[in-house]
Amino acid sequence: SASLYQTFGRSNATTRPSGLFNMGQAFSSTRNVEIADLIQSSLGGDIDRVIVLLDSLPVTTCDAQGNTALLAAVCGGKNLVLIEKIIALHQESGGSDWRLQKNSLGCTALWLSAAYGHANVLKLLLDADCDINTPNGAGDTPLLAAAYKGHLECVTMLMDRDADLNLPNTRGSAPLLSATATGHIDIVCALLKHGADPNQPNDSGITSFLSACASSALSYGDARKRGEIVQLMLDNGGDITKTDANGATPLMIASFGANHGAVRVLLKKSPDLEVLDKTGQTALWLAANAGSIQCCRLLVEAGAHVKSKNRAGVSIEEAALKGRANGCAEIIEAIGLAPRAVEGTNETPHLLS
């Protein structure tokens, strides 16, 4: 299995809710002009037009993607009165329960309100006893969708109504991992304070804590903020010894991601600096290979062994040379392997092992 520091920074596909990015263009691809008009008018919140159209069309009418007037109106979130009117029409029709209605992606009205951040609509639907944990077709719950998109008000509302904090999707990703991977610090804090588990792994073995250590997977901004979120994870039970599928520790992941804010925080916990991943690489080896000058300095100052090699026999100095070219000389200097003469000899440090 690939390690988090090898794959996670390139894609957040394991944490991204299905159906969030194509909902808009999925609406009304139907060739039926009247149905297309109904869905688009609902999406835009045009109550007068929708009422006229529903005089001749069943309230359960949907387009090719399963979008009804209700789902479109909720997704648009522009007219609460319209949504209430459509719900009333559903109730008057005596048909199937409107709260269970889903489009072809498996999204309910409540799911859409949470995913698109319409807190007023979400409250209306929660008050109407819509199920709070019903996922879409990929297993993404409303809480996961809201957390991923950064809708704090919706996340807070769902937690206050006892949404399941740790319910994973079909890829094993829970809401906290999705919020962590997308850099929504306020939501990460809220989820942790409500008891979300920072050590819950997804199907790839990635936990929220490991994700927080991977700078490339985050959009937290400066190193101080990245360090703060790692500290928050630690304060809420983050396991500093838990590894990903390739045996990479939080310190290794932070080092390879140049997340020196996280490295500073992790070093205060006195982790084992010489622990190896499955390819025999230490945190310092990874920091050097990644071109992370600051992380190299921090690790050396903490006592990391500068002479170690991975299982392929590649030294830390060679890892720096084979890794990112920028700052290579500074990295070699930082790890104490610069080719300068040792006092009293004609030898350089890296030749004295």
* Amino acid sitting at position 26: A
pLDDT value of position 2: 43
Residue pair 259/228 in contact (Cβ under 8 Å)? The answer is no
For every one of its 353 residues, what pLDDT tens digit does the chain have, with 9 covering 90 and above?
Answer: 345 554 443 334 455 555 444 444 455 556 789 999 999 999 999 999 999 999 999 999 999 999 999 999 999 999 999 999 999 999 999 888 999 999 999 999 999 999 999 999 999 999 999 999 999 999 999 999 999 999 999 999 999 999 999 999 999 999 999 998 888 889 999 999 999 999 999 998 899 999 999 865 445 555 567 788 899 999 999 999 999 989 999 999 999 988 898 999 999 999 999 999 999 999 999 999 988 889 999 999 999 998 889 999 999 988 888 775 456 667 777 677 644 433 443 433 332 22
pLDDT value of position 28: 53
pLDDT value of position 31: 73
CA distance 139 to 352: 57
- Say whether 62 sits in a helix, a strand or coil: strand
The correct CATH number of 18-130 out of 1.25.40.20, 3.40.50.2000, 1.20.1740.10, 3.30.2290.10 is: 1.25.40.20
CA distance 174 to 199: 11
Distance of CA 100 to the CA centre of its chain: 27
185, 191, 192, 198: CA torsion to nearest 10? -90
* Amino acid sitting at position 85: K
pLDDT value of position 181: 85
Residue 133 is encoded by which pair of tokens? 């944990």
CA distance 215 to 101: 40
45, 49, 51, 54: CA torsion to nearest 10? -110
Residue 142 is encoded by which pair of tokens? 């409303």
How much is the pTM? 0.83
pLDDT value of position 9: 37
Residue pair 246/214 in contact (Cβ under 8 Å)? The answer is no
pLDDT value of position 229: 86
Distance of CA 2 to the CA centre of its chain: 18
